[in-house]
Amino acid sequence: YPLRRQPPTCIRDRYEDIERPGLFIETFLMGSWIEHLRQQERHTMNDLLLQSRVLAFHQGTTSPAIRYLVAPV
């Protein structure tokens, strides 16, 4: 799958749903919410191009779901 630029403190994984083959879930584990927000602000033209190429594979009438989970403090 495409390589994405990510901070060294980011852990990235991708999973395929065994009950719905072809459905992939991508996870990113960041050190903090602030780190996540800062990373979202830093996009290069290559990042945007890659994102549009990846989204071209999306099948559905709505945007892919994005969920945020935070660990308890």
pTM for the whole thing?
0.56
Dihedral Cα 4, 24, 32, 44, nearest 10 deg: 30
- Residue 43 CA to residue 27 CA, distance in Å, equals 18
For the chain, the domains span 1-73
Residue 1: pLDDT band with limits 50, 70, 90: very low
Dump pLDDT digits (tens) for 8-52. Answer: 567 888 899 999 998 888 888 888 888 888 888 888 888 889 889
